[in-house]
């Protein structure tokens, strides 16, 4: 069923039918009702391709997700982020166009999406240090919002982020205040901006507490479970070994936990673990006393919703000043931390 057929069936012109369906005032209310009813009955809805060719708007948003080539890994946070964004798009009538590409190759996809006029805007995932994508998107005049920030970029841009540095500083403070002096950092890849900031926060806190930074106790890799396990095993075998571990993701923290237990230590007694928690739906850390880990939590699904809303707003008003949004975080004390052992 297309517009022509529908309008013939109704004995009206295509113009009138189109106007009726799109809510223009030039159509009488009775006609509109008749048209809407007929459209529903015929299960008609306008072809997006034709419509967006005519309007010049794609009504779709591009999400280009990097796949960590080393581990062929898709960071699990993307699933929940996208779920949040998708809710917003559904309500606003937008579609989500998804591509997964080896990390570092996003730029070609952005260019292609622009050239093909396939999307009205883009969500930039996993920004890196001095990320060139921001300049590229500005040049392409493609509206975008960054999930995270990119250090060493001066031009303003819209972003949604977590206060990574402050949060990791506070988390480290929590450990030092419990008497821990040998604290390990199990970070994400530090080419990623968020991981870089987290390390700064960690180092800030160590400096405050007059503790020295030990490079052997700082790891930075893709945040798999196995990474947490292996890094922890290696560090627990040192002497002295760290008594506390600050971890970048809950999945990695599960690996840390496994290593701690394997080594015959008790979590929260012999060894403390504090982790960042993206509040993934299938992997809830729990709240209050039931929390598995002491953690700093921030819902990545909420971040997805926020970023999507910001982007749609920006598409509507491309020339307004950039907005930024810092997500809330919650500190949860669970059973995985305790005073440093003697």
Partner DNA sequence: GACTCGCCTCAAAGCGCTTTGGATGCCTTT
Partner DNA sequence: AAAGGCATCCAAAGCGCTTTGAGGCGAGTC
Interface residues with DNA (CB under 7 A) are 2-4, 11-16, 18-19, 21-22, 26-29, 31, 44, 46-47, 50-51, 53-56
CA-CA distance, 165 to 125, in Å (whole number)? 19
CB of 237 to a copy of itself, least distance (A): 16
Nearer to DNA by C-beta: 10 or 253? 10
User: Which residues make up the interface to a copy of itself (CB under 8 A)?
Assistant: 1, 43-50, 52-53, 58, 60, 63, 67, 71-76, 78-80, 82-83, 86-87, 90, 95-101, 111-112, 115-118, 222-226, 251, 254, 257-258, 261, 280-284, 286, 292, 301
CB of 214 to a copy of itself, least distance (A): 27
209 binds, among DNA, a copy of itself, none (CB under 5 to 8 A by kind): none
Nearer to a copy of itself by C-beta: 73 or 200? 73
CA-CA distance, 150 to 263, in Å (whole number)? 38
Nearer to DNA by C-beta: 24 or 331? 24
Nearer to a copy of itself by C-beta: 94 or 217? 94
CB of 242 to a copy of itself, least distance (A): 21
CB of 277 to a copy of itself, least distance (A): 12
Helix (H) or strand (E) holding 126: none
Residue carrying structure tokens 């040998």: 182
CA-CA distance, 341 to 184, in Å (whole number)? 15
14 binds, among DNA, a copy of itself, none (CB under 5 to 8 A by kind): DNA
Distance of CA 36 to the CA centre of its chain: 39
What is the DSSP code string of 194-241?
Answer: HHHHHHHHHHHHHHHTTPPP-GGGEEE----HHHHHHHHHHHHTSSSP
Q: Is 63 helix (H, G, I), strand (E, B) or coil?
A: strand
CB of 56 to DNA, least distance (A): 7
Q: Is 39 helix (H, G, I), strand (E, B) or coil?
A: helix
What is the DSSP code string of 241-294?
Answer: PPSEEEES-HHHHHHHHHHHHHTTPPBTTTBEEEEEE---TTS---SGGG-SSE
CB of 13 to DNA, least distance (A): 3
Nearer to DNA by C-beta: 4 or 322? 4
């Amino acid at each position: 069923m297309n517009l022509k057929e529908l309008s013939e069936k109704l004995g009206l012109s295509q113009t009138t039918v189109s106007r009726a369906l799109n809510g223009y005032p030039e159509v009488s209310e009775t006609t509109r009702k008749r048209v809407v009813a007929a459209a529903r009955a015929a299960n008609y809805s306008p072809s997006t391709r034709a419509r967006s060719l005519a309007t010049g708007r794609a009504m779709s948003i591009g999400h280009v997700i990097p796949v960590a080539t080393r581990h062929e890994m898709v960071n699990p946070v993307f699933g929940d982020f996208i779920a949040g964004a998708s809710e917003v798009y559904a309500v606003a009538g937008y579609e989500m166009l998804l591509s997964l590409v080896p990390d570092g190759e996003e730029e070609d996809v952005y260019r292609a999406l622009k050239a093909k006029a396939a999307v009205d805007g883009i969500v930039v995932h996993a920004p890196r240090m001095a990320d060139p994508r921001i300049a590229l998107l500005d040049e392409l005049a493609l509206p975008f919002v960054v999930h995270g920030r990119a250090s060493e970029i001066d031009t303003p841009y819209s972003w949604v982020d977590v206060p990574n540095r402050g949060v990791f500083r506070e988390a480290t403070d929590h450990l030092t205040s419990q008497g821990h002096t040998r604290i390990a950092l199990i970070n994400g890849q530090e080419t990623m901006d968020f991981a870089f900031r987290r390390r700064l926060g960690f180092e800030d806190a160590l400096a405050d507490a007059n503790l020295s930074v030990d490079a052997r106790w700082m790891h930075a890799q893709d945040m798999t479970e196995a990474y947490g396990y292996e890094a922890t095993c290696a560090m627990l075998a040192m002497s002295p070994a760290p008594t506390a571990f600050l971890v970048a993701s809950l999945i990695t923290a599960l690996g840390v936990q496994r290593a701690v237990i394997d080594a015959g230590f008790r979590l929260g007694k012999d060894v403390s673990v504090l982790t960042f928690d993206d509040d993934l739906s299938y992997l809830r850390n729990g709240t209050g006393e039931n929390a598995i880990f002491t953690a700093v939590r921030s819902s990545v699904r909420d971040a997805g919703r926020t970023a999507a809303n910001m982007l749609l707003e920006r598409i509507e008003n491309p020339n307004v000043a950039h907005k930024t949004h810092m997500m809330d975080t919650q500190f949860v004390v669970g059973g995985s931390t305790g005073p440093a052992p003697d």
